[in-house]
Structure 1
Amino acid sequence: MAKPPAEVRFPGDKNRRRKLRVRGIKQASREIQKRLEKTLDLLLDDPEAFMPEIIGNLGKVSFFGPKDPMAMTLKEVGIVSSKRNDVRWLKKRMSKRSGGDVARSLAGSLAAASEEDLSTVSVFKSEVYGNASYLKRGSGRPGHLVGIQNFNHPKLRLLVWDDHAKAGQYFFSWDGGFVFTGFEPNPPPEWVNWTLDNTSVELQGEDCKWSTGLDEGTVRNDSITKEGWLRLKFSDGTKVGLSQSALAKTDEPMARSIAVSMMPPNKLGEVCEATWMWRPEGWPEGDALPQEGQERLDEILQTWLKMSLEDGALTRACRASILNSISHGYVVGTNWFSPDDREGFLNHMSGTNDERRSLACILDTLTGGIHVRTDGVVLDVEEKVVRLEDSSCHPVLVSLWPDHGMSILEKIFGVTGDDAKSIHDRQSKRKQGFGAFLRELNDSLSTAKKLDRLPWDSSDLPSPLSFADSLVRKAADEGLASTVSMARKGKGLDSSMGWAWLVVHEKTESDSWRFDEESRDKGGDWVPALRALWDAATSLLLEDDMESVSDYVSSMEWLAEVSGSGPISRSKE
């Protein structure tokens, strides 16, 4: 909830009890009043104390043609300085619309210096420069008044010169100095050292500085690292290395912590060069990175230098600019594999062999390039490149399954038509882990192929032989436990066969009451033949003994004879 405006009493008001609430001003503490009094006294003694040291070239003061902003300001400040004890003149000048705003703000500040009551102050708030108290006098801009009245503050005093900075002139401020370099960005070495000592990242070293996560040798020799690092080279030759981990936990943006000590702050790129020291794992050392990626990388670094990109997002953006510009081979995560190293690429992907086989199957069907993002979006690209932002098979297959799942089912598992569509739709909805899904699919199809070894289809056999064959198939596919419930539910002759099945597998202890006496008697007579049938099925289906087909046939014929089902013929020849 926003705080209400402060209660203040205006100087000169005879009613000492009356206070008004006014937003943007406050009652100054005694400490603030003393500080302002001291600063204004110094300013009154030397009105040009807020001015920077001129070390750059000055242009001409001309009323016609191009004008040098600093030369014009120096002339106007000189006039105001000469009138510093003329309060009446100062009050006129501080409200005058013509002329430069720096001189107007100086006049207002000098006029305030003549006042005795400084208890009511205005409040300046800035996300970049912080908060400050100042005396609002005249029509000067708040930033200019703040800078003049806080001219000993290394950052706030820069606010006076924003118009000059817009015109292309440069200012550099530090704890021990304040300079104007004209239209050339030439910061003194003292400014570079002081600024780097006061950044949001703790640095070590002198002419070569580095953050945690790096060492002097890496930075001085411009060595490439696996994680990558940011190199800054200042115009005085100072080199700075910033690691990914150091940039990820800054309280204040790194670029801003440097740029607030210069004006204009968005021209930090003019005094230091930023380079991202990284290349994808596997990229040949002697090969240059794609030109398109380098151009995009330069744009990102310039955006960061202009304080428009967060430190934590810089690493990801720099890597993406390079990875997304690679137009050949396989890009997975932050790794690159040549077009000839498809096996290395697939082995790098985490997942099961079935998942890698499925991914390879998809690659075989591609006619162009593809880019699979971490958010699941699939992009077709013109270049012959495979870009996978995730190095795990599962999320990649989830993204590719809608368009390529049918190809996987047909080419790897031989499933087509309605069966393939049913499996495809089911997996699209469930999004089951692909490792488990492919394993279960492989197992079920393998079992189905094994069941094709049986010489009859269950539907081609008469009852109760069809029921016996169904029990065998279910036991081979899902296990014996799954057949108990099925055996209990048989009707008529199937009930007798169900009892025989339970006897063969010794599952009758708690189920005898479910079967009538006649079913138990008939089923008991069929047990030897049914046991022989199951033994043959076990050898054929579970032990892969193909010669057991004849045993299965003879056992089924025996079961047909004892059950009174009559002679049967082979349905599969």
Structure 2
Amino acid sequence: MYFFSWENGFVCTGPNPTPPEGWLEDVLERSRFDFQHESVDGVDVYVAGEISAEDVLNSVPSTQGWVRLMFKHGPIVGIELEVLNATKEKQSAFVHHLALSMLPPLLTSIVDIDAMWVPNGWNPEDELPEKAHEGLEKLVAGWHGLTVPEGNLARACHRSVLDSLDVGLLIGSAWSHGDSIEEILDSLKEMNGNEDEKLLAAGVFLEAMKEATEGIRIDPRGGIQEREGRLVEVMEGASLTDAVNALWEDFGLAGLKSINIEGEEAQIIWEQQLKKPKPLKTFLKGLDSSRKKAQQKAKFPYRSGVLSGAVGAIHDLILTGLLEGPGIAERQATSRHDDIDSAAASWAWLCAANRSTGQEWHFESLARDRGVAWMEATKNLLEQGKLLLDDEQADNSGFVEALKALHTATGQQQPLPDQESA
């Protein structure tokens, strides 16, 4: 036996669960939502919020999203997800209000409930993954069963749909195919950052979507996580800096290419940002000086750390002194040494750079004697390095010859590596 209570009293409909005429309108009127009634193709549709009655009736997905109650006696009720989101903790859920107006309170005997939401950028004509529909179905069942709080339903529906997506780029709750820089830039409109920051980020994201073998999620703290599919997601709360720095090691070079920095210069700038990450704004603001330094480094045939032994130690001190400043190189030269050759290399540079006065106490006499023997070759290499930086047209052949002479002077057995592999 079914009973329905409303303004006209208490009505028993016997074994038939069809509500009496006027009952639904009364229940909706007594709810906290402001429902608007519209007849669409002969069907009574009631909607609350900024959603279209016609879209709710015809199951048209929307970025507002809705829950839909399809009463078995004909009427349709749609409630925008954000309207449900406004439900306060102590307010009873709408389905609870509905169930209290009938006995037994078996809503499934009179209504079917579903939900729909798509992210910004999603083509409403494209079908969501099956996993999205399954997730929404579970959440609606939880809402109906009062295990999913009404105030959390909108956020839970959003998350369920977003987690089901397996391709493209997801920025917060905005999705795009991410097939081009232009399309990605359009997705970044709502994120903080200037044009240059977004262009760099777009290059990084595009490369990540092309090359990543699994899904990537950047969480609100800037941490990187795996996710299903091959979608790249930047969660709400994560900044452009968080996202780019998280992806920089694998895809930063592509970002630099998007702002027309390539080759050896890009490699050096990429390494600098990888070792000491800076906020994008700071990084780009200092890019002119970074590019100049990268261009200077690119003139030399070998990078720091590539060459071994005494030759490598002298070479690296010369590069540090020329590119970072002699004070930094001096601190490195006077720090603790692992062996006589490394100490001798440091003394050779100090003498060649005229920075040895008062530094004798750092070195054993054997290291100083050996360093003095290497000083002329070291000084020649230092002068060639200065010429390389001062002359825009100079090639590095003079520096290479001076390096070979230093290699001979030190008697180092290990040959110099090919420049191409350095």
Q: Provide the TM-score with structure 2 as the length reference.
A: 0.57
* Structure 1 residue 472, shift from structure 2 partner: 0.9
Q: Hey, what does 1:255 align to over in structure 2?
A: 95
Output the CA distance in 2 between the equivalents of 1:189 and 1:431: 71
CA contact (8 A) 2:70 2:113 kept: yes
Kindly tell me: are residues 345 and 364 of structure 1, through their superposed partners in 2, closer, same or farther at Cα, counting changes over 3 Å?
Answer: farther
Q: Hey, what does 1:364 align to over in structure 2?
A: 211
Q: Which of residues 190, 199, 202 is equivalent to 2:33?
A: 202
* Structure 1 residue 538, shift from structure 2 partner: 4.2
Q: Hey, what does 1:138 align to over in structure 2?
A: none
Output the CA distance in 2 between the equivalents of 1:554 and 1:331: 52
CA contact (8 A) 1:170 1:264 kept: yes
Q: Hey, what does 1:330 align to over in structure 2?
A: 168
Which string of whole-angstrom CA distances, capped at 9 and with x for unpartnered residues, describes residues 54-82 of structure 1? xxxxxxxxxxxxxxxxxxxxxxxxxxxxx
Pair 1:237 & 2:83 matched = no
Output the CA distance in 2 between the equivalents of 1:399 and 1:263: 56
Output the CA distance in 2 between the equivalents of 1:469 and 1:373: 40
Kindly tell me: are residues 238 and 356 of structure 1, through their superposed partners in 2, closer, same or farther at Cα, counting changes over 3 Å?
Answer: same
CA contact (8 A) 1:468 1:497 kept: yes
Which string of whole-angstrom CA distances, capped at 9 and with x for unpartnered residues, describes residues 117-175 of structure 1? xxxxxxxxxxxxxxxxxxxxxxxxxxxxxxxxxxxxxxxxxxxxxxxxxxxx3222235
Output the CA distance in 1 between the equivalents of 2:276 and 2:404: 43
Q: Hey, what does 1:101 align to over in structure 2?
A: none
SS of match in other structure, 1:184: coil
Which string of whole-angstrom CA distances, capped at 9 and with x for unpartnered residues, describes residues 529-559 of structure 1? 94x75454245369775525326746997xx
SS of match in other structure, 2:395: helix
Output the CA distance in 1 between the equivalents of 2:246 and 2:11: 58
Q: Hey, what does 1:45 align to over in structure 2?
A: none
* Structure 1 residue 502, shift from structure 2 partner: 5.1
Instruction: Give the root-mean-square deviation of aligned CA atoms.
Output: 5.7
Output the CA distance in 2 between the equivalents of 1:373 and 1:548: 43
Q: Hey, what does 2:385 align to over in structure 1?
A: 537
* Structure 1 residue 291, shift from structure 2 partner: 5.2
Pair 1:184 & 2:184 matched = no
* Structure 1 residue 394, shift from structure 2 partner: 8.1
Which string of whole-angstrom CA distances, capped at 9 and with x for unpartnered residues, describes residues 208-229 of structure 1? 6554xx34x7345547542323
Output the CA distance in 1 between the equivalents of 2:318 and 2:128: 63
AA partner of residue 5 (structure 2): S
SS of match in other structure, 2:168: strand
Pair 1:228 & 2:73 matched = no
Output the CA distance in 2 between the equivalents of 1:240 and 1:542: 73
Pair 1:459 & 2:309 matched = yes
CA contact (8 A) 1:355 1:434 kept: no
**Count of equivalent residues:** 347
Q: Hey, what does 1:268 align to over in structure 2?
A: 107
Which string of whole-angstrom CA distances, capped at 9 and with x for unpartnered residues, describes residues 377-423 of structure 1? 63566xxx53747476888899999xxx8x879999xxxxxxxxxx9
SS of match in other structure, 1:181: strand
Q: Which of residues 353, 357, 380 is equivalent to 1:501?
A: 353
Q: Hey, what does 2:398 align to over in structure 1?
A: 550
Output the CA distance in 1 between the equivalents of 2:276 and 2:30: 51
* Structure 1 residue 342, shift from structure 2 partner: 6.3
CA contact (8 A) 1:283 1:336 kept: yes
Q: Which of residues 374, 378, 386 is equivalent to 2:231?
A: 386
AA partner of residue 459 (structure 1): G
AA partner of residue 231 (structure 2): V
Q: Hey, what does 2:268 align to over in structure 1?
A: none
Output the CA distance in 2 between the equivalents of 1:555 and 1:376: 43
SS of match in other structure, 2:11: strand
Q: Hey, what does 1:281 align to over in structure 2?
A: 120
Kindly tell me: are residues 196 and 468 of structure 1, through their superposed partners in 2, closer, same or farther at Cα, counting changes over 3 Å?
Answer: same
Q: Indicate the structure (1 or 2) with the bigger Cα radius of gyration.
A: 1
CA contact (8 A) 2:67 2:80 kept: yes
Which string of whole-angstrom CA distances, capped at 9 and with x for unpartnered residues, describes residues 207-254 of structure 1? 66554xx34x73455475423233445546364433425424333222
* Structure 1 residue 497, shift from structure 2 partner: 4.6
Q: Provide the TM-score with structure 1 as the length reference.
A: 0.45
Output the CA distance in 2 between the equivalents of 1:542 and 1:380: 53
* Structure 1 residue 181, shift from structure 2 partner: 1.5
Unaligned segments of structure 1, at least 5 residues: 1-168, 413-422, 504-510
Pair 1:485 & 2:331 matched = yes
Kindly tell me: are residues 299 and 515 of structure 1, through their superposed partners in 2, closer, same or farther at Cα, counting changes over 3 Å?
Answer: closer
AA partner of residue 264 (structure 1): P
Unaligned segments of structure 2, at least 5 residues: 39-44, 192-196, 256-270, 285-289, 338-342
Output the CA distance in 1 between the equivalents of 2:331 and 2:33: 72
CA contact (8 A) 2:37 2:46 kept: yes
Kindly tell me: are residues 231 and 433 of structure 1, through their superposed partners in 2, closer, same or farther at Cα, counting changes over 3 Å?
Answer: farther
SS of match in other structure, 1:241: strand
Sequence identity (%): 18
* Structure 1 residue 203, shift from structure 2 partner: 1.8
CA contact (8 A) 1:540 1:548 kept: yes
By relative contact order (CA 8 Å, sep 6+), the higher-ranking structure is 2
Q: Which of residues 465, 472, 480 is equivalent to 2:318?
A: 472
Output the CA distance in 2 between the equivalents of 1:354 and 1:342: 12
Output the CA distance in 2 between the equivalents of 1:227 and 1:334: 12
Which string of whole-angstrom CA distances, capped at 9 and with x for unpartnered residues, describes residues 455-493 of structure 1? x957365xxxx7653421223565444213234469679
Q: Hey, what does 1:311 align to over in structure 2?
A: 150
AA partner of residue 207 (structure 2): A
Kindly tell me: are residues 225 and 359 of structure 1, through their superposed partners in 2, closer, same or farther at Cα, counting changes over 3 Å?
Answer: closer
